Amino acid sequence: MSQVVESMAVPVGVAPYPARAVAWYATVMLAVLYWLAVLDRFIISLLVAPIKKDLGLTDVQFGLLQGGAFALTFAIFGLLAGVLADRVSRRWVIFAGVFIWSLATSVCGLAQSFWHLMLARVGVGAGEATLNPCATSMLTDLFPRERLTAAMAVYAMGSTVGMGTALMFGGWIVEAVSHEETLVLPLLGTLASWKAVFFIVGVPGALLSLLIFTLPEPLRRGQRAAGTESQPRRPYRELLRFIGTRRRFFSCHYAGFTFAAVIISGGGAWYPVHMTRAFGWSPSRVGFVLGLAIAGAGVTGKLICGNLVDAMHRRGLRDAQLRWYAVCLAVGTPIGIVAMTSGNPWVFTFGLAAFLMLLSPLPACASASLNLVTPNELRGVGIAFFGTVGGILGAASGPVLIAAAAERMFSGPSAIGHGMAAVTAVCCPIGAACLALGLRAMREAMLEAENWNKA
């Protein structure tokens, strides 16, 4: 195993980066797989009613299927995937992950009970956990440092388009399922409509997993030392030791982006509910308008962020990722508050689009800044560890905090909107302050990292 890693490591000053066309092709293909992951992850939430009816599930059980079963598995297997990303071929890890989550999505269509679905969702979480550690590690080796944020932004667009696609067509899927109790699929025969949806989404994914072999396995760059000794036997202990050498940077980074994740994850869970309750819109109308807003704002925001942050980096600003996102959080605070407290659906929609345009580049800024200061042999575990911490603290707490604020502080059909505004008013400024406090620490960490590999 160590010989494989050693052969892929690049000594200082050796081996140019791949041709730009090759690197961008790889980025787009990884973004397609990210789109597929989000679509497979989210599809179950569009089929709540028919699944509950056929399998007799309670709201609590369905909550476990959407949240607990997936999130816990995603976190645990993400830590394992981080180790694999630093030690073996990242293409093979991604291939295995895509195939597993696509197969598990299809298996959801065979479920006859709550426990069948639970096991299938565990498979979806385990498979999807492989993608981010491996993909971000590959991108960091495919692009020069001054172009990395733009690449991360394009990759992250897969998530945005995946969520937007699911919302935009969610109403159509639900409507089709409600009108047709069964569907006939080749080889599988007649299935309940909601079961057929899982096969329609999952089976093509297994075939798309082969896309990964059209990408190069990039040479590993930026290791602190060459040879087998550079691969730690206890990677997470070594990661924590490395984090300890740059405490201020990592504490400010983790805190700042986690506070932002509270808003993004929490709002994402409640935007459709708020639009239905406050504006009286139908689910199909909410899905189309909200999906279009999320996809459009996310793609635009990530493209702008990626290009301007890389331009800032080329001008010598070695804290560009943290600096940019701190400003976005500060500027976004009043925009988000106005949008979420508005009684006009179009003020809310366009205000939300502006708010998400500013905040949606979180994955690009967070991943790029981490990988730029972390040695190659720890990048996979570094992304996995941040994803676990940020996911548990940010993604898990956001929906609950908004619901609690709405319930205890407000009333009426707009209570959720005001709850989102209250959490935004607290978390966005704190997140901006945390990132601002880490600017100097990032500059110092970047100076050290640039000495590992100047290729």
In this predicted structure, what is the pLDDT of residue 310?
A: 93
Flag whether 224 is in a domain: no
Which of 218, 249, 271 lies at the terminal end of a domain, its last residue? 218
Q: Provide the 10 A C-beta neighbour count for residue 20.
A: 12
Residues 243 and 163 in one domain: no
The answer to whether the beta carbons of residues 349 and 335 sit under 8 Å apart is no
- Give the HSE-up count for residue 140: Cα atoms under 13 Å, Cβ half-sphere: 33
Residues 241 and 205 in one domain: no
**Amino acid, res. 424:** T
Residues in the chain: 455
The CATH number covering residue 125 comes to 1.20.1250.20
202: helix, strand or coil: helix
In this predicted structure, what is the pLDDT of residue 194?
A: 79
Flag whether 91 is in a domain: yes
Residues 201 and 341 in one domain: no
The answer to whether the beta carbons of residues 402 and 256 sit under 8 Å apart is no
Could you tell me which of 272, 422, 417 has the C-alpha nearest to residue 343?
417
**Amino acid, res. 297:** A
Gap between the Cα atoms of 161 and 154, Å rounded: 11
Gap between the Cα atoms of 18 and 150, Å rounded: 16
Residues 119 and 259 in one domain: no
| Cα distance from N-terminal residue to C-terminal residue, the chain | 25
Which of 170, 185, 218 lies at the terminal end of a domain, its last residue? 218
Residues 286 and 190 in one domain: no
Gap between the Cα atoms of 26 and 151, Å rounded: 10
Flag whether 340 is in a domain: yes
Flag whether 80 is in a domain: yes
The answer to whether the beta carbons of residues 94 and 380 sit under 8 Å apart is no
In this predicted structure, what is the pLDDT of residue 12?
A: 43
Flag whether 226 is in a domain: no
Could you tell me which of 122, 118, 115 has the C-alpha nearest to residue 72?
122
Flag whether 35 is in a domain: yes
- Which structural domain, as residue segments, surrounds residue 260? 234-455
Residues 161 and 250 in one domain: no
Flag whether 229 is in a domain: no
Gap between the Cα atoms of 73 and 127, Å rounded: 9
Residues 339 and 415 in one domain: yes
Residues 204 and 298 in one domain: no
* Residue 443, H or E segment: helix 439-450
Residues 412 and 445 in one domain: yes
Gap between the Cα atoms of 292 and 271, Å rounded: 13
DSSP assignment letter at 413: T
Residues 188 and 111 in one domain: yes
The answer to whether the beta carbons of residues 384 and 78 sit under 8 Å apart is yes
Residues 32 and 115 in one domain: yes
Which of 165, 191, 218 lies at the terminal end of a domain, its last residue? 218
Flag whether 225 is in a domain: no
**Amino acid, res. 309:** V
Residues 238 and 207 in one domain: no
The total of structural domains in the chain comes to: 2
From first to last of its 455 residues, what are the pLDDT tens digits of the chain? 433 443 345 444 457 889 999 999 999 999 999 999 988 887 777 777 788 888 887 756 766 776 667 777 888 898 999 999 998 999 999 999 999 999 999 999 888 888 989 899 899 989 999 999 999 999 999 999 888 999 999 998 888 888 887 777 766 766 666 676 666 667 666 777 778 888 888 888 999 999 999 999 998 887 765 443 456 778 899 999 999 999 999 999 999 999 999 998 888 878 888 898 899 987 778 888 988 999 899 999 999 999 999 999 999 999 999 999 999 999 999 999 999 999 999 999 999 999 999 999 999 999 999 999 999 889 999 999 998 887 777 776 788 888 888 888 998 889 999 999 999 999 999 999 999 999 999 999 998 887 765 54
DSSP assignment letter at 184: E
